[in-house]
């Protein structure tokens, strides 16, 4: 499986800090029924989720406690 077949899920709290990162999550197999797909959730409560290419969180040095700032069209809309 190559990194383009994987996602990193960055879980972000309402205070705009990273609370967890699920690394290298595989894309779901379309043959698996929805009820049987694995579920992913953060270790701590999160309000926002950012999905990026698998391996990018490590490459960018993203980790728990990092501050997040929303940019572009959503800059300032959600407090981050």
pLDDT the model gives residue 2: 54
- Which two tokens mark 71? 């940019």
**What does the pLDDT look like over 22-63, one tens digit per residue?**
999 999 899 999 999 999 999 999 999 999 999 999 999 999
- In 4-78 the beta strands, taken as DSSP E runs, fall at 6-12, 18-26, 48-53
Q: What are the phi and psi torsion angles at 5 (to 5°)? A: -95, 10
């Amino acid at each position: 499986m190559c990194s383009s077949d994987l996602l990193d899920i960055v879980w972000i709290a309402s205070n705009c800090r990273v609370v967890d990162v699920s690394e290298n999550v595989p894309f779901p197999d379309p043959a698996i029924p929805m009820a049987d797909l694995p579920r992913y959730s953060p270790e701590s409560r999160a309000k926002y989720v950012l999905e990026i290419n698998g391996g990018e969180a490590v490459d960018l040095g993203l980790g728990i406690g990092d501050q997040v700032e929303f940019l572009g069209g959503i800059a300032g809309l959600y407090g981050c």
